């Protein structure tokens, strides 16, 4: 019997971010999967009294399944470090780093991982115009620290630019304005240092916005991706390298776009990606014979504190 078999696992879900509802879906699925494997699981909706909730629950290990701010950004991980509760998923540092798309992309770029060309915009810079930007239409405008495509606009005409930046500024004080890449849209899951088969994302209409992500049938997924094996290997290699550089080799999902002569580019690293039975990381794991319950259990077994305790 391992330590985790005797543990009481607190699956942390819900939370305070814009992605609260998505987190409930993922968190409940993880809790159910761990219970199916015989684990003692409590589900805790993360609110401002989370420290008291954790203490009262008798949890000996935590499994954060929180997306976005106050969960995927190092906050909860920091609390768990301070409370001495080992936890699954990213460390404080990896979570905080990868929540910030700009910090992540600059780190990757500086280490030879291809990323889209982009620039940061803030309210102090005034009204954005194309003349002030190093990228040309079409462009993508997104909040620096969000997820689930919240606040993202694909701008195809200059008149859409200022409203798009305004929309993103409502969610974050920094906005990333990026060149718009051509497909294919791909994502690569990393598990225990290995890249899983690449998943291809093919929205039926338009781009991979919130609706395409969460409406049944709105997006077709292909695993393995219907791409040249050489491109697939390249995507796996840059995904693994992105995970290594950001400290997410336990597990993460690296979103990638493009192929062709320019090659694939990393859009972002997700440290706590969607975790329902039909989400992308579980889908990729399934393609290698790792079912959802096994995936959750493997992630739980990696739970630990990352800081040295005083
Ligand atoms: N530079 C780009 N070029 C083309 N499409 C893009 C670009 N950036 C983002 N997109 C589109 O927007 C989607 C969401 O972008 P991104 O992954 O950066 O944001 P997110 O909201 O953090 O997503 P997630 O739900 O994966 O956390 C992408 O999956 C892609 O369809
Ligand atoms: Mg993404």
Domain CATH code at residue 51: 3.40.50.20
User: Among all ligands shown, which has an atom nearest to the Cα of 203?
Assistant: 1
Asked if residue 115 lies in contact with residue 266, where contact means CB atoms within 8 angstroms, the answer is yes
Residue 128: give its domain's CATH number. Answer: 3.30.1490.20
Residue after which a domain boundary falls, among 146, 179, 212:
179
Taking CA atoms only, the protein residue closest to ligand 1 atom 2 is 180
The DSSP result for 171-182, as a single string, is T-SEEEEEEPPP
Query: Could you tell me if residue 55 is inside a domain?
Result: yes
The answer on 81 and 10 residing in a single domain is yes
- Residue 1 has what pLDDT? 42
Neighbours of ion ligand 2 (CB under 5 A): 255
Q: What 3-state class would DSSP assign to 257? A: strand
Domain total in the chain = 3
218-223 long-range contacts, Cβ below 8 Å, gap at least 24?
221/280, 221/283, 223/197, 223/198, 223/199, 223/283, 223/284, 223/287
Q: Which ligand 1 atom is the nearest neighbour of the CA of 101?
A: 18
Last residue of some domain: 179, 209, 224?
Answer: 179
In this structure, the answer to whether residues 170 and 258 fall within a common structural domain is no
Q: How confident is the model at residue 308 (pLDDT cuts 50, 70, 90)?
A: confident
Is 222 exposed, middle or buried (CB count within 10 Å of its CB: 0-12, 13-18, 19+)? middle
Average pLDDT for residues 131-146, to the nearest whole number? 96
Of 294 and 6, the structure prediction assigns the larger pLDDT to 294
Annotated active-site residue 124? The verdict is no
Are 244 and 147 found together in one domain? Answer: no
CATH of the domain at 220: 3.30.470.20
pLDDT digits (tens, 9 = 90+) for 253-288: 999 999 888 999 999 999 999 999 889 999 999 999
Q: Whose CA is nearest to atom 1 of ligand 1?
A: 180
In this structure, the answer to whether residues 75 and 22 fall within a common structural domain is yes
Same domain for 11 and 135, yes or no, is no
Do 11 and 70 lie in a common domain?
A: yes
Rounded to an integer, the average pLDDT of 26-48 is 98
Indicate which residue of 258, 268, 279, 297 is catalytic: 268
Q: Is residue 32 part of a domain?
A: yes
Q: What does the pLDDT read at residue 2?
A: 52
Query: Is 72:147 a contact under the CB 8 Å cutoff?
Result: yes
Same domain, 135 and 161: yes
Q: Is 259 a catalytic residue?
A: no
Sheet strand arrangement including 8-13: 40-45, 8-13, 61-64
Angle between helices 101-110 and 92-99 (to 10 degrees): 100
- Give catalytic status of residue 221 as yes or no: no
- Does 135 sit in the ligand 1 pocket, CB within 6 Å? no
Q: Is 72 a catalytic residue?
A: no
Could you list the residue range(s) of the whole structural domain that residue 152 is in? 118-179
Per-residue pLDDT tens for 79-138?
999 999 999 999 999 999 999 999 999 999 999 999 999 999 999 999 999 999 999 999
The answer to whether 36 is a known catalytic residue is: no
Catalytic residue of the set 149, 174, 214, 294: 214
| Ligand 2 centroid to residue 187 C-alpha, Å | 8
142 CA from centroid of ligand 1 (Å): 8
> pLDDT, tens digit, for every residue of 157-197?
999 999 999 999 999 999 999 999 999 999 999 999 999 99
Q: What is the pLDDT of residue 6?
A: 72
Give yes or no: 265 in active site.
Answer: no
Cβ proximity of 210 and 219 under 8 Å: no
* Whether 37 and 159 share a structural domain: no
Q: Which of the listed residues 139, 255, 260, 280 should we mutate to test ligand 1's pocket, taking the one with most ligand atoms within 8 A of CB? A: 255
Same-domain status, 67 and 209: no
Which residue, by CA, sits nearest to atom 25 of ligand 1?
148
Active-site residue among 17, 68, 74, 253?
Answer: 253
Whether residue 188 sits in one domain with residue 167: no
Query: How far, in Å, from the CA of 207 to the mean position of ligand 1?
Result: 9
Could you read off the pLDDT of 54-80 as tens digits, one per residue? 999 999 999 999 998 888 899 999 999
Q: Which of 81, 270, 279, 297 is catalytic?
A: 270
CA distance 133 to 42: 49
Both 74 and 106 in one domain: the answer is: no
Is 87 in the active site? Answer: no
Shared domain check, 266 and 190: yes
């Amino acid at each position: 019997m391992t330590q985790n078999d005797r543990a009481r696992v607190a699956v942390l879900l819900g939370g305070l971010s814009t992605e609260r509802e998505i987190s409930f879906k993922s968190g409940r699925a993880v809790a159910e999967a761990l219970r199916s494997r015989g684990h003692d699981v409590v589900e805790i909706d993360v609110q401002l009294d989370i420290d008291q909730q954790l203490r009262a629950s008798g949890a000996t290990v935590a499994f954060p399944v929180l997306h976005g701010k106050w969960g995927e950004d190092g906050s909860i991980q920091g609390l768990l470090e301070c409370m001495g509760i080992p936890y699954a998923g990213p460390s404080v540092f990896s979570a905080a780093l990868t929540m910030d798309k700009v910090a992540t992309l600059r780190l990757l770029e500086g280490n030879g991982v291809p990323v889209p060309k982009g620039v940061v915009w803030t309210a102090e810079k005034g009204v954005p115009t194309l003349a002030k930007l190093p990228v040309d239409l079409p462009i993508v405008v997104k909040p620096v620290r969000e997820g689930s495509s919240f606040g993202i606009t694909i701008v195809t005409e200059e008149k859409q630019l200022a409203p798009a930046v305004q929309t993103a500024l409502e969610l974050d004080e920094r906005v990333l304005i990026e060149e718009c890449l051509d497909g294919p849209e791909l994502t690569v899951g990393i598990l225990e240092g290995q890249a899983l088969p690449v998943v291809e994302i093919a929205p039926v209409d338009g781009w991979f916005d919130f609706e395409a992500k969460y409406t049944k049938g709105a997006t077709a997924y292909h695993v393995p991706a219907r791409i040249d094996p050489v491109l697939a290997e390249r995507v796996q290699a840059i995904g693994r390298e992105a995970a290594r550089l950001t400290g997410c080799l336990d597990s993460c999902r690296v979103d990638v776009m493009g192929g062709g002569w320019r090659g694939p580019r990393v859009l972002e690293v997700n440290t706590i990606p969607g975790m329902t039975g039909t989400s992308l990381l579980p889908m990729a794991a399934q393609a290698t014979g790792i079912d959802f319950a096994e995936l959750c259990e493997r992630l739980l077994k990696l739970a630990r504190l990352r800081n040295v305790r005083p």
